[in-house]
Chains A and B, each alone.
Chain A
Amino acid sequence: MAIFKKKTKKPLSEYSTGELILFRFKKNKLAMIGVAMFMFVTIMILIAPLIRPYSMVIKQDIVHRLNPPSKEHIFGTDELGRDLLARILYGGRISLFCSLAIIGIAFVTGAIIGGTAGFFGGKVDTILMRIVDMLMSVPSALLAMAIITALGNGVWKLVLALSIGQIARFARMVRSSVLTLRNREYIEAAKCFGSSSWRIIMKHILPNGIGPIIVSATLTLGAVILSISSMGYLGLGVASPTPEWGTIISENKVNIQYFPYLGVIPGICIMLTVMSVNFIGDGLRDAFDPKSKR
C-alpha cells in the first residue's frame, strides 16, 4: 500500500541549507507547538465573522451587562453588555495585523538603510549610521510617545510611531551582516563575473544574510504585540470602542475586581499569542544556528 511505502532517504550531504534548516525547525517540539498555537489564533481571527458578526462588537445590551461566561456568551459580557468573545476576536485582528505591519515597515526601511550603508560604505555609511545612532539613543517607548503626541491617536499613527522605534535596530543588524558578507570570496567572484550590484545583493547577500534577521524579526514581533497592547492600556493606542486587546483590559479596569474574567481572558489571549511567536522565534534561531542551542 502506498501509505507504507518508505521515503527514500537522501544522504545528509545532499540536503540544501534551506532543507536542513526546515528539518531542524520541524524537529523542535516547542517551535511546532508555537506554530500550531499561532495558526490557531490566526485562523480564529480570520474566520471571526463566521463565529460572531461584527455588529456584536459594538452592540450594547444593558439587560445582559456583566454576564459571566455562559453558553450564549462563552467569554461573558462587559459593562455595556457587549460580547467579550466578539471583542477579543476582532480586537485580535488589530493587535496582530498592526504588529505584522510594524515589523514589515521596520524590516523593509531598516534593510534599505542598513543595506545601503553596509554595501556602499564610506560617507553614505557614516551619515546613515549617525542618524540610526541618534534614533537608538532615545528609548523606543518614549520615542513612540513623542510621535503620538505630535500625530494624535489612531491605528495607523500607532503603527507609524512604533515602527520608527524599531527601524534603527534592523538597520544596524542588516548593515553588520552585509559588512561581514561583503568581502567573502563568492561575492568577489560574482563581481569578477560582472554581476551588477543589484544582482549581487539579491542573489548572494540576501539569501546568506537573511537568517539572523528573520529570527530577530520574529522575536521582536512578540515584543511589538506587547507594546501595542500597552499603548492601548495607557490610552495612547487604539481608542475604545474599537476593540484591541490592551484597550479591552483598560476599559474593563474598574470591573475586574468583581468580574475577574474581564481581565483574565484578554490577558491570556495576549500571553498565548506572544508565547507562540516567541517559541517560533527560538525555534528559528536554533534552526539557523544549531551551535547556539543549549
Chain B
Amino acid sequence: MNWLKYALKRILMLIPVIISVTFILFLILSLAPGDVARMVLGQDATEEQVAQLNHEMGLDRPLLIRYLRYMRDALRLDFGRSWTGNFDVLAEFSHRLPYTLLVSFLAIIFATGVGIPLGIASAIKQYSLLDYGSTFMVMLLFSMPAFWLGTMCQLLFCLTLHWLPVSGITNWKNFILPPLILGANTLASMIRMSRTSMLDVIRMDYIRTARAKGGSRRYVTRHHAIRNSLIPVVTQIGISFAGTIGGAVVTENIFAIPGIGTLLINAVKSRDVPVVMGTVIFITIIVGVINLIVDLICALVDPRIDLAS
C-alpha cells in the first residue's frame, strides 16, 4: 500500500516536470531568428503570402499564447507538422522510435550483461590480471569518442574483414555493431560501478559474520555480497539510459539507422523547430518514465529505501 502511494506520487510528479521542460524548450526555440514563413515558402513568395502563412501558423501571436496553443494541441496529441519535410511530427516519431529503442535496449543489455559480471569478477579478484585488464579497458572506453570507435570498428569489421554490413537496417547483422558501439560508454561505467560497489560490500561486517558462521566463500559471495552490491548498479542503469538515448544520435548517424537520432540531427541542421521540440519532449518523457520505473523497482526490491521522503 505504501509502495502504491509512493508510485502514484512519483507518477504525479512527472507532470510538472513535463510542463516545465516544454516551457523551457519553447522559450529556447523561440529565440530562433529568421522568418519561418519565408523559409518555407522560398524567396519568390509575396509579402501577403508570407503574412498569410505566419498567421496560419500562429507565429504572429505573442510567445505565451503560442505556448498555450502548443500545449492545447499537444494534449490532443497534435505536435504540429515539420516546417521543411511536410510530415506529422508524432507520426514520424512513432514510425522511427522502434529502431532507436531496439538499438538502445540491446546496448543496455550488452553493457549490463558484460559489465556487471566483469566488474564483480574484478572486485573479487582485486589486483589480478583480470582486474588490471578491465580497469585499463574502462580507461580506454571513457577516453574514446563514440563516433571514432564506431568509425574504426566499421573500418575493421565491415570494410576490411567484411564480417558485417556497413550500414542500413535490412539484415539482423545490421543490429550487431551499433548496440556494441552505443553501449561502450555504459559498459565502462557499469564495470566501474559494480566493481566499486562490490569492493564496498565485501568489506562489510555482515560478510565477515557470514564467513565466520561457516558459509563458504562461494556461498557468501553469491548470496550476500553480489545481491547487496547490485542495488546502486541497478539505479545506474536507469541513469545511463538518458546517456544512451543521447548517444543514439551519434550511433544512428554512423550506421545510417533511420531512428529518432537521424530525425533530430536533420531537424537541428535545417532548424526545423516543431520536429526538434517534439523529439526532445518525447525523449525526455521516455527517459523520465524509465528512471521512474527503475526507482519503483528499487523501492519494491529494497525495503531499506524510505518511501516517505
> Chain A: residues with CB nearer than 8 A to chain B?
130, 133-135, 137-143, 145-152, 222, 226, 229-230, 233-236, 246, 249, 253, 256-257, 260, 263-264, 267, 270-272, 274-275, 278, 294
Contacts and interface: CB of A to CB of B under 8 A. Distances in A.
Contacts of A260: 155
A146 B31 contact: no
A148 B272 CA distance: 11
Given A257-B155, A271-B144, A271-B148, A139 B246 contact: yes
Given A139-B245, A234-B250, 11 more contacts: A141-B249, A142-B280, A145-B265, A229-B147, A230-B147, A246-B145, A270-B148, A275-B140, A278-B143, A294-B126, A294-B196
6 contacts: A141-B246, A145-B249, A149-B267, A149-B273, A256-B155, A278-B142
Contacts of B151: 249, 253, 256, 263, 267
B245 to A, nearest CB: 6
Which 6 A-B pairs rank lowest in CB-CB distance, beginning with the nearest?
A: A141-B246, A267-B148, A275-B143, A274-B143, A150-B31, A134-B20
B276 interface: yes
Contacts of A267: 144-145, 148, 151-152
B287 interface: yes
A55 B252 CA distance: 36
A263 B152 contact: yes
Interface stretch (B22-30, B86-94, B95-103): B22-30
A208 B144 CA distance: 34
Nearest to B31: A150
Interface in B245-276: 245-247, 249-250, 253, 264-265, 267-269, 271-273, 276
Interface of B is mostly: helix
Contacts of B28: 146-147, 150
Contacts of B82: none
A149 B268 contact: yes
B283 A139 contact: yes
Nearest to A277: B143
B307 interface: no
Nearest to B247: A141
Interface string B169-200: 00000000000000000000000000110010
A242 B102 CA distance: 36
Contacts of B196: 294
B17 interface: yes
B294 interface: no
Given A260-B155, A278-B142, A142 B283 contact: yes
A226 B276 contact: no
A145 B280 contact: yes
Contact of B276 (A134, A135, A145, A229): A145
A229 B21 contact: no
A107 B260 CA distance: 32
Interface in B178-233: 195-196, 199
A228 to B, nearest CB: 10
A29 to B, nearest CB: 14
A236 B276 CA distance: 14
B165 interface: no
Given A263-B152, A274-B143, A142 B31 contact: no
B9 to A, nearest CB: 16
Nearest to B253: A234
Interface in B75-121: none
Nearest to A268: B148
Contacts of A147: 28
Contacts of B74: none
Contacts of B143: 222, 271-272, 274-275, 278
A264 B253 CA distance: 19
Contacts of B264: 142, 145
Interface string B230-250: 000000000000110111011
Contact of B29 (A140, A150, A229, A256): A150
